[in-house]
């Protein structure tokens, strides 16, 4: 086992001992859940409230009457006694959570694990910086290139982050080509540049064109949604189908050549639909 792997294993072992999570069992009648954070508890409690969703229903009723002339049936008023009892029960559950969390935090500090946790966090930080430094190295020998390729393979297996190792692999493969480092490096760098994400490329299109195109796409989406669903079942912002050529056009699998940026076709689309983006803003 290499020193790097050994250090990684030791940090993980200590971290498993330190980072044990706080767990709280909440119960309402026969319903139970286990939470670690106060926000999780309040989110779980919300649907049990007697007036849950009432504000939303009232707002829908106002909008339905205002825009469609439809008056929704009146809903029975929430029993104030039930609401009062619920608020009291909810406060008791949250108070029990807060007390349990305080006792947990006190024991955590008494055990000294909070100090150990900080040491582990610092160790991870140092470890991450060391790995980043390795990825930035530029080996000058075939042996160094082979070592860097091996490291990149391990990094990919552990983090599944190909974008982090792309440049390092270019340097590693260049070093493997003994006696032709400069030529190979230039070719690989060029090949790598062609596979960079399209959003890294710069655009020289006028800002006024891009803003007009963006606005046109927005309202085109609304108009197309209305045309596909006149009844308003699928309003804009809900969803779009992805099992069609429109989706496949924008989907790029890893390793494939990136698609051109939307800005590269803005002028052509605007011209095709007869939208003169150079007219300027309207008042």
Query: pLDDT tens-digit profile of 39-87?
Result: 999 999 999 988 887 777 777 778 877 788 888 777 778 888 988 999 9
Residue 163 lies in a domain: yes
pLDDT digits (tens, 9 = 90+) for 171-183: 887 777 654 444 4
Say whether both 20 and 78 belong to one domain. Answer: yes
Number of residues in the chain? 283
Name the burial class of residue 213, with classes exposed (0-12), middle (13-18) and buried (19+) by CB atoms within 10 angstroms of its CB.
buried
> Do residues 149 and 181 share a domain?
yes
Q: How many CB atoms lie within 10 A of CB 108?
A: 15
Instruction: Quickly list DSSP for 42-94.
Output: HHHHGGGSTTTTHHHHHHHHHHHHHHH-PPPPPPPPPPHHHHHHHHHHHHHHH
Domain presence at residue 49: yes
Q: How many CB atoms lie within 10 A of CB 139?
A: 19
pTM (2 d.p.): 0.37
Domain that holds residue 245: 207-279
Q: Classify residue 99: in a domain, yes or no.
A: yes
Specify whether 60 is located in the same domain as 93.
yes
As given in the structure block, the two tokens for residue 112 are: 């000294």
Looking at the structure, tell me whether residues 13 and 90 fall in a common domain. Answer: yes
Q: Please, what is the end-to-end C-alpha distance for the chain in angstroms? A: 71
Is 18 in the same domain as 104? yes
């Amino acid at each position: 086992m290499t020193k790097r792997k050994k250090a990684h294993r030791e940090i993980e072992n200590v971290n498993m001992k330190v980072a044990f999570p706080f767990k709280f069992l909440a119960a309402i009648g026969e319903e139970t859940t286990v939470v670690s954070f106060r926000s999780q508890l309040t989110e779980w409690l919300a649907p049990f409230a007697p007036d849950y969703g009432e504000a939303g229903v009232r707002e829908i009723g106002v909008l339905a009457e205002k825009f469609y002339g439809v008056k929704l049936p009146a809903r029975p008023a929430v029993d104030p006694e039930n609401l009062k009892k619920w608020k009291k029960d909810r406060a008791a559950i949250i108070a029990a959570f807060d007390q349990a969390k305080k006792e947990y935090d006190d024991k955590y500090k008494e055990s000294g694990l909070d100090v150990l946790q900080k040491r582990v966090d610092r160790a991870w930080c140092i470890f991450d910086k060391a790995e980043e430094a390795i990825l930035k190295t530029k080996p000058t020998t075939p042996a160094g290139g082979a070592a860097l390729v091996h490291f990149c393979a391990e990094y990919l297996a552990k983090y599944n982050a190909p974008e982090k190792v792309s440049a390092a692999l270019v340097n590693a493969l260049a070093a493997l080509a003994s006696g032709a480092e400069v030529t190979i490096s230039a070719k690989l760098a060029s090949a790598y540049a062609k596979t960079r994400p399209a959003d890294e490329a710069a655009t020289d299109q006028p800002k006024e064109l891009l803003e007009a195109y963006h606005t046109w796409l927005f309202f085109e989406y609304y108009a197309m949604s209305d045309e596909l669903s006149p009844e308003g079942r699928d309003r804009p912002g809900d969803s779009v189908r992805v099992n069609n050529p429109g989706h496949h056009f924008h989907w790029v699998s890893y390793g494939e050549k990136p698609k051109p940026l939307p800005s590269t076709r803005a002028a052509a689309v605007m011209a095709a639909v007869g939208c003169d983006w150079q007219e300027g803003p309207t008042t």
